[in-house]
């Protein structure tokens, strides 16, 4: 039958359309899940104890160390470091290896200057600068887990001498949090006030529409452009002005006229302002107008209506605006590179010395640590795993913040509204 | 007298002779006109609201009843692009003039909306809302809140749960709460915009009882398109059509023996 | 002596109003002023970028030598990366949007939303890191494999749905997971077999294909959400009429919904283009930053944004490089603004 064939063909076309479009969604899931899994694996791997391997070569030599990389028929093994960390790498071709084994009596040692060395049997001569000794090949799974936890802890809080950790993530995390906190203090009052002005005072007028449109277009301006604004206007313009006025005695050494925490926070505040204004205004607009009119009809002024009736109801929107702003700011690395992020902050922007917060100081940042360790680190075999650790922490931070915003936002939204923007 | 001009003229209002001779007038409008953007909503309305009586404003939907009410407490000013011309006189002063702060006008001219709109606060705080704005503390609020709730016959129903959320009340109770909320501020005039529009017939009748009692307490302007309701409740009635005040008279006369042809058509259901 | 409450004289509200008049007026004015200050700050920050750039650039019209060629190279790099990224992201994002709007229930839509949110929330510096260290070494000799991979995955999914589609009708929520399994199987097979490894060798592991792939990941959720929005509007408007005429979902989509949603979909692509053109960290990390004016996707590139991040910290204020970089910033700003305006126009047209 002609009709039957046409019908069947139509049905198959429908299946094909459903399937190929489902593949797009599947790829999104694969990307999201794959990236998170990759980060978890690559970010945590450096803390898991790698076995110490003894390679016996065809020419009779033997090499003791950790396998760092196996690619294109060659192995890179981290062996004894004599003078400084990173000088003990050995490149072995697969062809020249006769045998390899994991001797249970192998000892991995860490020196006070970060060097590693490996011994068999006894711990070797008791050198004075040894800070850590472990027999990791002999560890049980539970022992390895404890070792992993210990190294992770040491890395997270810094001051770790016995792992691949270097400076640790604590300064970068502290710098990131201080930065977004300072930014929040700037952006939230301004953003909420502006949203209030748009909703309560400007109304549907022409000025309100103008500001709304401008705020919307600001959201699409690339973050690096904000960085240029921060450098040119805040650092050179305002900071330089403050220096000429207050710290003239110290010129030409700049105090405020160079990148620092305050200017970075200001830059991020401008960057996140559109998010805050739009979210808070949406929250205010979601309150039924009858409530506002009801309050006005009872002789309340606009300000009283706002303070007693509208703002308390918009509190979840304000909270979710704050979380979204912080999530956006934590991920914005490019502008920071122009306004004062550094690899190692010579002095932390927060310390015990009065006035405790030093807004003109430079700072470190998790996102910048990712970039810096991956691209600029002198020792890529160590730097890249560190970059992944920082990236894992950064992504965890952003995802937790976004999930929190989602939970807060769900209280506002109808769950089954059509797929919203 | 211009007010008694030819019965079939479109533009003037027919007011029965000696209608307001023996009652005090609470509020009076003079040549009140209203525009939204370029569209004229109200045309030169001269309306008198007798004190301590109920005035029903009747007319088809879209004839300007709500707009007229919202002129009397200046709520139209919340709408963008609105322009008002004329006078609204309360105690001899013009409410529309800039000298009167708008929020004080609204305190003296209360309003109840078609749909119950309790604030997401407790029952107590809903009634106390307007008084708190005047700086009163809890100790001074208990008495006026109770008074207001008793006045709308809600006290006995909610006395034991004053701190419960107002949104948990039934629509009928919510609407009475909205009236109590307005009464707590001791308004001189109470504007009611289709107060029974969202209620079931039972609650609606209950509300009408309440209105009849409140009508001895302050002036009430009741906008409604429910003619039976207007006939049952009000002392006076005004008929509005297309933004023009056509006729005003005591309710019985207006419904049984209207002076104007348009009014007769409307009240006998021959309108349109 | 205690006086019962009810015996007190009635509250005189009018007197209270009188009493509080001046303090309420003060507070109202203060509140209004605060709000106006906030709005003023927002307006200032909106104007800050263009005003600052013009203020810095205007004093002299002179453009340093070589600026034009330099900017041309950077602009071509920006376009190469972002156009490639959007071209890669459009099929994926649109397919996902179509599936969400036409083949999913509202419940499924709300369950898939967090996946897209998650993808959109990943900081770009992390994507740059993955592209740089994980993808780049593999991709260098396997650009051709990528095409085989895409073809094989699509073929596997189509074949699978031609066979199993009828059975999946009763479990529409399983479709993406079935597609995932089919695609993964085909993809793993192609990667393990790797027939074309080394057939197209890129000179550098950091090439435009790599940048396009990483940037594409940021563009997919954007295209999907904006596109789904446009599709949903058109779907709501037209699907009843189409179904009343006996059309299937696919026929309704192709004949009515897609044409009606086309401006909105174009807006989604434009927004993604603007976003990718301004994106810095991915390009900075994965592009190799070689200032080449070449259209070959196997070559590296250097974009406007990467140039700003690399050169501005070392540029002397007011010097030739500084001026060149500010012009680059202005270009980037105008570009993103134009994309935003055009997208807003298109979306308004789609909505009307």
Report the complex ipTM: 0.90
Q: How far apart are CA A153 and CA C294, in angstroms?
A: 48
pLDDT > 70? residue A321: yes
Structural domain span for residue A323: 170-418
Q: How far apart are CA C15 and CA C68, in angstroms?
A: 74
Smallest CA–CA distance from C20 into chain B, residue: B134
Smallest CA–CA distance from B184 into chain C, residue: C13
Choice among A54-58, A352-356, C86-90, C279-283 with the minimum mean pLDDT = A352-356
Q: Which residues in chain B touch residue C25, judged by CB atoms under 8 angstroms apart?
A: 101
Choose among C10, C13, C25: nearest Cβ to B134. Answer: C13
Are the C-beta atoms of B238 and B247 separated by less than 8 Å? yes
What's the token pair of residue A421?
Answer: 């923007």
Mean pLDDT of chain B: 88
Task: Examine the domain organization and report whether A274 and A330 are in the same domain.
Answer: yes
pLDDT of residue C8: 46
Is B209 strand, coil or helix?
Answer: helix
pLDDT of residue C316: 83
Say if A43 falls within a structural domain.
Answer: no
Choose among A16, A211, A218: nearest Cβ to C39. Answer: A211
The alpha-carbon gap from A259 to the nearest alpha carbon of chain B, in Å, equals 46
C12 DSSP 8-state letter: -
Q: Which helix (H) or strand (E) holds B247?
A: strand B244-250
Task: Examine the domain organization and report whether A290 and A332 are in the same domain.
Answer: yes
Is B186 an 8 Å CB contact of chain C? Answer: yes
pLDDT average, residue stretch A245-268 = 77
Nearest of A165, A103, A64 to residue A369 by alpha carbon? A165
pLDDT level of residue B1 (50, 70, 90 thresholds): very low
Task: Examine the domain organization and report whether A175 and A153 are in the same domain.
Answer: no
Residue from A7, A10, A14, A19 to probe the interface with C (highest C Cβ count within 10 Å) = A19
Among A125, A157, A189, give the residue marking a domain's end. A157
CB contact under 8 A, A191 and C113: no
Smallest CA–CA distance from B190 into chain A, residue: A297
Residue from B142, B143, B155 to probe the interface with C (highest C Cβ count within 10 Å) = B143
Q: Using the structure block, give the residue that is written with the tokens 């313009």.
A: A237
Are the C-beta atoms of A220 and C339 separated by less than 8 Å? yes
Q: Which residues in chain B touch residue A205, judged by CB atoms under 8 angstroms apart?
A: 80
Q: How far apart are CA C285 and CA C309, in angstroms?
A: 11
Are the C-beta atoms of A205 and B80 separated by less than 8 Å? yes
Task: Examine the domain organization and report whether A300 and A274 are in the same domain.
Answer: yes
**Residue B56 Cα distances to B16, B175, B215, C52, C155, angstroms:** 16, 18, 11, 62, 74
Task: Examine the domain organization and report whether A273 and A402 are in the same domain.
Answer: yes
Alpha carbon of residue B187 to chain centroid: 11
**Residue B145 Cα distances to B120, B162, B184, B211, C239, angstroms:** 17, 10, 7, 19, 54
Is B209 an 8 Å CB contact of chain C? Answer: no
Say if A291 falls within a structural domain.
Answer: yes
Nearest of C27, B199, C349, B135 to residue A301 by alpha carbon? C27
Say if A34 falls within a structural domain.
Answer: no
Phi-psi label, residue B91: left if phi above 0, alpha if psi -120 to 50, beta otherwise: left
Task: Examine the domain organization and report whether A59 and A208 are in the same domain.
Answer: no
Say if A281 falls within a structural domain.
Answer: yes
CB contact under 8 A, B117 and A294: yes
If one compares A134 and B247, the residue with the highest pLDDT of the two is: B247
Is C309 an 8 Å CB contact of chain A? Answer: yes
Task: Examine the domain organization and report whether A358 and A296 are in the same domain.
Answer: yes
Choose among A273, A337, A416: nearest Cβ to C106. Answer: A416
Choose among B101, B143, B185: nearest Cβ to C5. Answer: B143
Are the C-beta atoms of A385 and A66 separated by less than 8 Å? no
Task: Examine the domain organization and report whether A77 and A133 are in the same domain.
Answer: yes
Say if A7 falls within a structural domain.
Answer: no
pLDDT of residue C1: 35
Residue B251, beta-bridge partner list: none
Residue B93, beta-bridge partner list: B90
Task: Note the pLDDT tens digit of each residue in B134-189.
Answer: 988 888 899 999 999 999 999 999 999 999 999 999 999 999 999 999 999 999 99
CB contact under 8 A, A19 and C113: no
pLDDT average, residue stretch B240-251 = 91
pLDDT average, residue stretch A261-269 = 91
| Phi, psi for residue B88 in degrees, rounded to 5 | -125, 110
pLDDT exceeding 90 applies to what percent of chain B?
55
Task: Examine the domain organization and report whether A143 and A174 are in the same domain.
Answer: no
Task: Note the pLDDT tens digit of each residue in A295-318.
Answer: 999 999 989 999 999 998 888 889
Among A136, A157, A178, give the residue marking a domain's end. A157
Smallest CA–CA distance from C12 into chain B, residue: B186
The alpha-carbon gap from A286 to the nearest alpha carbon of chain B, in Å, equals 14
Say if A25 falls within a structural domain.
Answer: no
pLDDT of residue A161: 46
Say if A8 falls within a structural domain.
Answer: no
Task: Note the pLDDT tens digit of each residue in A332-343.
Answer: 899 998 887 776
Pairing of strands B39-45, B25-36: antiparallel
Q: Which residues in chain A touch residue B104, judged by CB atoms under 8 angstroms apart?
A: 299
Are the C-beta atoms of A334 and C309 separated by less than 8 Å? yes
CB contact under 8 A, B117 and A205: no
Choose among A197, A223, A302: nearest Cβ to C39. Answer: A197
The alpha-carbon gap from A289 to the nearest alpha carbon of chain B, in Å, equals 10
Taking residue B108's Cβ as centre, other Cβ atoms within 10 Å add up to: 22
Is C188 an 8 Å CB contact of chain A? Answer: no
CB contact under 8 A, C21 and B135: no
CB contact under 8 A, C168 and A18: yes
Are the C-beta atoms of A268 and A183 separated by less than 8 Å? yes
Are the C-beta atoms of B236 and B55 separated by less than 8 Å? yes
Task: Examine the domain organization and report whether A92 and A123 are in the same domain.
Answer: yes
If one compares B130 and C290, the residue with the highest pLDDT of the two is: B130
Mean pLDDT in order along chain C per 10 residues (352 residues): 43 84 90 90 88 85 78 92 95 94 89 89 93 88 87 93 85 90 93 79 84 95 93 88 82 87 93 93 88 82 91 85 90 92 88 74
CB contact under 8 A, C183 and A196: no
Is C159 an 8 Å CB contact of chain A? Answer: no
Is C24 an 8 Å CB contact of chain B? Answer: yes
Task: Examine the domain organization and report whether A241 and A302 are in the same domain.
Answer: yes
Q: Which residues in chain C touch residue B148, judged by CB atoms under 8 angstroms apart?
A: none
Pairing of strands A106-111, A97-101: unpaired
Dihedral (CA of C128, C134, C135, C137) sign: positive
**Dihedral, CA of residue A227, residue A232, residue A235 and residue A241, to nearest 10:** -160
Task: Examine the domain organization and report whether A288 and A404 are in the same domain.
Answer: yes
Nearest of C50, A77, C167, C303 to residue C175 by alpha carbon? C167
Are the C-beta atoms of B185 and B131 separated by less than 8 Å? yes
Are the C-beta atoms of C140 and C202 separated by less than 8 Å? yes
pTM, whole model, 2 decimals? 0.84
Residue from A11, A13, A26 to probe the interface with C (highest C Cβ count within 10 Å) = A26
Choice among A10-19, A31-40, B8-17, B101-110 with the minimum mean pLDDT = B8-17
Mean pLDDT of chain A: 81
pLDDT of residue A160: 46
Q: How far apart are CA C299 and CA C284, in angstroms?
A: 15
Residue from A202, A203, A287, A297 to probe the interface with B (highest B Cβ count within 10 Å) = A297
pLDDT > 50? residue A420: no
Q: What sections of chain C are H helices per DSSP?
A: 13-57, 67-102, 106-121, 124-130, 136-139, 143-168, 175-193, 208-244, 249-252, 258-278, 281-286, 304-311, 320-351
Task: Note the pLDDT tens digit of each residue in A125-165.
Answer: 666 677 777 778 878 888 888 888 887 777 776 554 444 44
Domain count, chain A: 2
**Residue C250 Cα distances to A19, A378, C254, C258, C263, angstroms:** 12, 56, 6, 10, 19
Among A157, A180, A213, give the residue marking a domain's end. A157
Taking residue A238's Cβ as centre, other Cβ atoms within 10 Å add up to: 15
Choice among A161-175, A187-201, B107-121, C136-150 with the minimum mean pLDDT = A161-175
Say if A336 falls within a structural domain.
Answer: yes
Is C15 an 8 Å CB contact of chain B? Answer: no
If one compares A192 and A362, the residue with the highest pLDDT of the two is: A192
Is C220 an 8 Å CB contact of chain A? Answer: yes
Smallest CA–CA distance from A214 into chain C, residue: C46
- Where residue A321 sits, what CATH number does that domain have? 1.10.3720.10
Residue B39, beta-bridge partner list: B36
CB contact under 8 A, C126 and A26: no
pLDDT > 60? residue B62: yes
pLDDT of residue A417: 37
pLDDT > 90? residue A187: yes
Nearest of A236, A182, A238, A176 to residue A398 by alpha carbon? A176
């Amino acid at each position: 039958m002609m009709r039957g064939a046409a019908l069947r063909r139509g049905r198959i076309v429908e299946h094909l359309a459903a399937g190929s479009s489902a593949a797009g969604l599947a790829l999104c899931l694969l990307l999201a899940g794959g990236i998170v899994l990759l980060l978890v694996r690559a970010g945590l791997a450096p803390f898991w104890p790698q076995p110490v391997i003894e390679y016996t070569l065809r020419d009779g030599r033997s090499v003791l160390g950790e396998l760092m990389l196996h690619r294109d028929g060659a192995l890179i093994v981290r062996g004894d470091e004599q003078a400084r960390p990173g000088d003990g790498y050995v490149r072995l071709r697969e062809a020249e290896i006769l045998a390899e084994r994991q001797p249970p009596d192998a000892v991995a040692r860490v020196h006070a200057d970060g060097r590693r060395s490996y011994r068999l049997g006894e711990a070797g001569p008791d050198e004075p600068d040894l800070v850590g000794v472990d027999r990791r090949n002999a560890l049980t799974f539970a022992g390895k887990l404890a070792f992993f936890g210990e190294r992770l802890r040491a890395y997270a809080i810094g001051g770790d001498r016995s792992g691949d950790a270097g400076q640790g993530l604590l300064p970068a995390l502290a710098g990131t949090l201080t930065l977004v906190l300072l930014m929040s203090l700037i952006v939230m009052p301004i953003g909420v006030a502006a949203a209030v002005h748009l909703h309560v005072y400007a109304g549907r007028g022409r000025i309100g529409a103008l500001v709304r449109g401008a705020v919307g277009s600001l959201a699409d301006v690339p973050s690096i452009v904000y960085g240029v604004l921060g450098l040119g206007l805040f650092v050179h313009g305002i900071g330089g002005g403050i220096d000429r006025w207050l710290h003239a005695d110290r010129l030409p050494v700049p105090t405020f006229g160079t990148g620092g925490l305050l200017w970075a926070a200001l830059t991020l505040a401008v960057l996140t302002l559109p998010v805050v204004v739009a979210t808070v205004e949406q929250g205010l607009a979601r309150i039924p107008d009858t409530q506002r009119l009801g309050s006005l009809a009872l002789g309340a002024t606009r300000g009283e209506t706002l303070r007693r009736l509208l703002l308390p109801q918009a509190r979840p929107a304000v909270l979710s605006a704050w979380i979204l702003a912080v999530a956006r700011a934590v991920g914005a690395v490019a502008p920071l590179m122009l306004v004062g992020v550094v690899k190692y902050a010579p002095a932390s922007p927060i310390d015990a010395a009065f006035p405790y917060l030093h807004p003109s100081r430079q700072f470190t940042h998790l996102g910048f640590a990712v970039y810096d360790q991956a691209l600029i680190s002198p020792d890529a075999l160590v730097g890249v795993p560190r970059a992944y650790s920082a990236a894992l922490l950064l992504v965890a931070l952003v995802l937790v913040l976004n999930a929190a915003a989602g939970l807060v936002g769900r209280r506002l939204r109808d769950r089954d509204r059509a797929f919203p923007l | 007298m211009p007010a008694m001009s030819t019965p079939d003229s479109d533009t003037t209002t027919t007011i029965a002779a000696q209608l307001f001779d023996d009652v005090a007038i609470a509020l009076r409008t003079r040549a009140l006109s209203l525009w939204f953007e370029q569209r004229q909503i109200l045309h030169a309305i001269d309306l008198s609201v007798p004190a301590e009586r109920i005035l029903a404003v009747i007319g088809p939907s879209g004839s300007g009843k709500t707009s007229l009410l919202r002129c009397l407490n200046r709520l139209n000013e919340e709408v963008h692009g609105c322009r008002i011309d004329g006078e609204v006189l309360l105690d001899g002063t013009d409410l529309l003039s800039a000298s009167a702060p708008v929020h004080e006008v609204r305190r003296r001219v209360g309003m109840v909306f078609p749909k119950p709109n309790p604030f997401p606060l407790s029952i107590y705080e809903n009634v106390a809302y307007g008084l708190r704005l005047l700086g009163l503390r809890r100790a001074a609020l208990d008495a006026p809140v109770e008074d207001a709730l008793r006045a709308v016959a809600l006290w006995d129903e909610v006395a034991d749960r004053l701190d419960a959320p107002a949104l948990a009340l039934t629509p009928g109770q919510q609407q009475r709460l909205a009236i109590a909320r307005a009464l707590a501020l001791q308004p001189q005039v109470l504007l009611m915009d289709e107060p029974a529009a969202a209620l079931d017939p039972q609650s609606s009748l209950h509300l009408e009882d309440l209105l009849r009692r409140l009508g001895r307490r302050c002036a009430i302007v009741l906008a409604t398109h429910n003619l039976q309701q207007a006939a049952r409740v009000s002392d006076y009635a005004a008929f509005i059509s297309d933004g023009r005040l056509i006729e005003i008279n005591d309710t019985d006369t207006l419904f049984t023996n209207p002076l104007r042809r348009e009014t007769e058509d409307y009240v006998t259901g021959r309108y349109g | 002596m205690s006086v019962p409450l009810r015996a007190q004289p009635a509250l005189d509200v009018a007197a209270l109003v009188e009493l509080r008049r001046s303090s309420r007026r003060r507070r109202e004015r203060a509140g209004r002023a605060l709000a106006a200050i906030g709005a003023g700050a927002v307006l200032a920050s909106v104007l800050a970028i263009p005003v600052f750039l013009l203020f810095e650039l205007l004093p002299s019209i002179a453009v340093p030598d070589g600026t034009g060629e330099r900017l041309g190279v950077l602009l071509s790099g920006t376009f190469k990366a972002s156009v490639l990224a959007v071209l890669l992201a459009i099929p994926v994002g649109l397919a996902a949007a179509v599936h969400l709007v036409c083949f999913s229930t509202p419940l499924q839509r709300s369950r898939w939303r967090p996946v897209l949110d998650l993808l959109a929330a990943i900081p770009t510096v992390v994507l740059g890191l993955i592209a740089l260290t994980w993808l780049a070494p593999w991709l260098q000799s396997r650009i051709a494999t990528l095409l085989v991979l895409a073809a094989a995955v699509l073929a596997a999914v189509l074949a699978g749905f031609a066979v199993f589609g009828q059975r999946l009708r009763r479990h529409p929520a399983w479709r993406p997971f079935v597609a995932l399994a089919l695609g993964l199987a085909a993809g793993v097979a192609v990667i393990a077999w790797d027939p074309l490894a080394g057939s197209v060798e890129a000179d550098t592991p950091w090439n435009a294909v790599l940048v396009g792939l990483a940037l594409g990941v940021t563009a997919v959720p954007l295209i999907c959400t904006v596109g789904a929005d446009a599709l949903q509007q058109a779907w709501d408007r037209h699907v009843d009429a189409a179904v009343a005429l006996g059309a299937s979902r696919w026929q309704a989509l192709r004949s009515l919904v897609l044409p009606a949603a086309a401006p909105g979909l174009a807006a989604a692509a434009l927004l993604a283009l603007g976003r990718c053109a301004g994106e810095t960290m991915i390009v900075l990390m994965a592009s190799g930053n070689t200032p080449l004016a070449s259209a070959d996707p196997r070559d590296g590139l250097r974009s406007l944004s990467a140039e700003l991040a690399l050169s501005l910290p070392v540029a002397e204020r007011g010097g030739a490089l500084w001026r060149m970089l500010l012009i680059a910033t202005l270009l980037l700003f105008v570009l993103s603004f134009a994309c935003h305006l055009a997208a807003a126009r298109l979306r308004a047209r789609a909505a009307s």
